[in-house]
Amino acid sequence: SQYVVFVMSCIIVILLLFSGAGEVPVSSRVILSSHNFKETPPAAELHARAAAMREAGADIVKIATMANDISDAAVVLSLLQQKTGPTIALAMGERGQITRLLAAKYGGHLTFAALSDARASAPGQPTIAQLQQLYGFAQQGPSTKLYGIMGNPIHHSKSPLIHNTAFRHLGHDGVFVPLLVDDLPRFMDAFQEHDFQGFSVTIPHKEAAHKAAASRDPVADQIGACNTLIRQPDGSGFKGFNTDWIAAISA
């Protein structure tokens, strides 16, 4: 079917269009779009906006906000977790990139990607090749397990390439994503109900990861820092480990 896109501020124009002589064909579907280029409003406000947009006649709701902290991405992903119909939800900027990378995992109607890095139309927008080849977008589903590397900066990390390649080789239904984290405790709190099974931790968060871990191995306690967090199957939270010392001694 064809799609017709309108922005929320043009809702009066939509009503006039549908009531006038130049009606949209019955086979067309309306995407009603709302953008906030400054911030991500609270979850309750976003959910109310999505409901109002669907009430206004949207076949597909699209909401895009600016992520000023990665915790904003959790708010946006909640729209997909609790959607009542086809929904496109994304948080703009590098701090919100996981809303694009994981849209399929959370049941998003679609996401947006660029033909190349040079042709990206929005901050944090991945390329088609990255979505398909690096993050296995087409293979993601509700049962896909999540992993990531927390750091700041993080865009240079090769960890997603290394881990996602290993996952494919092993046939593991998981995806490993970069996480631009400013405040580790705030991130852990925002994403505690999500499917993250483990994290790699890099600068500047290793000491914060040690404090945030529910338990730690003895070596991590001696060092006072963790570069790995693994969710424990008994529901006790994340256990912290430090493997840096092995690499340092054997280098």
Amino acid (one-letter) located at 37: F
Question: Is-contact 226 206, C-beta < 8 A?
Answer: yes
Total length of the chain? 251
Asked about 35 being catalytic, the answer comes back as: yes
Enumerate residues 6+ apart whose C-beta is below 8 A from 209. Answer: 150, 184, 199, 201, 225, 226, 227, 229, 240
Q: Which of 62, 105, 163, 210 is catalytic?
A: 62
Q: Which of 69, 72, 205, 244 is catalytic?
A: 244
The DSSP output letter for 203 is: T
Q: Which of 47, 83, 205, 206 is catalytic?
A: 206
Q: 43 vs 2, 75, 90, 221, CA distance in Å?
A: 31, 5, 13, 37
Burial class (CB in 10 A: 0-12, 13-18, 19+), 100: buried
Asked about 206 being catalytic, the answer comes back as: yes
Known catalytic residues are 35, 62, 206, 244
